Amino acid sequence: MRALLIVNPKATTTSERARDILVRALRSAVDLVVENTSRRGHAAELGASAAADGMDLVVTLGGDGTVNEVVNGLLADGRTADVAPALAVVPGGSTNVFARALGLPMDWADGTGVILEALRDKRFRRVSLGRANGRYFTFCAGVGLDAAVIRRVEEARKRGVSATPALYLRSTAAEFYSADGRRHPDLTLQIPGRRARTGLAMAIVQNTSPWTYLGGRAVSPNPKATFDTGLDVLLLKHLTVAGTIRTASQLLAGRAAPHGKQIVAHHDLEKFWLRSARPQAFQLDGDYLGECDEVELDSVPNALRVAC
């Protein structure tokens, strides 16, 4: 089996020692090539090259952003799971939502052991993916407040601030009180065959659960989302202080899906659109991608083979 290991050396928990041990372990099972990423978008290029070269497996050592890029590279040019290399994920970032949603352990050494067992037993799982304006995502997308929070966090990280739960909470509070969308909700949800829903303030889309983690606590606005169904979406009508605090409390309690008059939620959607009267912050898999005024989202069943 021919395999490529793609390492993001800048990922939060990736170290030279971890990479070297992982390389030795993988070389006991596969014919391995190793590449380090050097810039944004490089992992996608490496994934696409691996697919074009007929590699059997691509392994990532990095965070969710690295995984997202690799997935988009593997499936570029219309490739499907039947012809693209399989994917294996070794956690190396700060959150690693995709790996944890697959049931992989957070420790990179334990994760490597699971992958080696999967390769030995030829154990591969097919998972659905989401797609937003043609770009795949593995676990979540967002338009509005959550994407703006990620933008603020990324700006802080560029200044050398660590990506801790406290940073996300501070960024959320700061963005909430400065957001124009809180006072003038202007998102529209359009599901094929249904009347458009207007006057919405933000949207969180999930391809699986959870949406993210705060430390060890899983947070999921759409707890019924799974890799085996379509997309789930939760939207807030208004970002009032009282309503937002109530929804945040429900999310952190984690006992049930958020509910209340300010919430609109849909489960297992094949396709829908989010449109806005003004450009809104947009994120996929926890990476800020800029602003847009329309996002077309669809679910792609059985899109990816994963060794896990």
Residue range 85-110, pLDDT digits in tens: 999 999 888 889 999 999 999 888 89
**pLDDT winner (highest mean) among 14-18, 100-104, 254-258:** 100-104
Does residue 308 form part of some domain? no
- 4 vs 33, 55, 62, 92, 179, CA distance in Å? 5, 7, 14, 16, 43
Indicate whether 180 and 72 sit together in one domain.
no
Give the domain extent around 203.
Answer: 140-299
Indicate whether 161 and 266 sit together in one domain.
yes
User: What pLDDT does residue 279 have?
Assistant: 93
Give CA–CA dist 8/285, Å, rounded: 16
Give CA–CA dist 11/88, Å, rounded: 17
CATH at 40: 3.40.50.10330
- Residue range 159-187, pLDDT digits in tens: 888 777 788 878 888 887 776 555 567 89
Does residue 171 form part of some domain? yes
CATH at 144: 2.60.200.40
Helices (H), the chain: 16-27, 42-52, 64-74, 97-101, 108-120, 145-158, 165-178, 180-183, 241-253
Count of the separate structural domains present in the chain: 2
Summarize the confidence of residues 250-259 as an average pLDDT. Answer: 76
At position 135, the amino acid (one-letter code) is: R
The average confidence (pLDDT) of the chain is 91
Indicate whether 205 and 152 sit together in one domain.
yes
Indicate whether 234 and 289 sit together in one domain.
yes
149, pLDDT greater than 70: yes
pLDDT band at 26 (very low <50, low <70, confident <90, very high): very high
User: What pLDDT does residue 185 have?
Assistant: 75
Does residue 133 form part of some domain? no
Residue with tokens 């065959």: 193
Counting residues of the chain whose pLDDT is more than 90, the rounded percentage is 68
- Residue range 42-76, pLDDT digits in tens: 999 999 999 999 999 999 999 999 999 999 999 99
Domain boundary among 73, 93, 122: 122
Indicate whether 85 and 8 sit together in one domain.
yes
Indicate whether 157 and 243 sit together in one domain.
yes
Give the CA radius of gyration of the chain.
Answer: 19
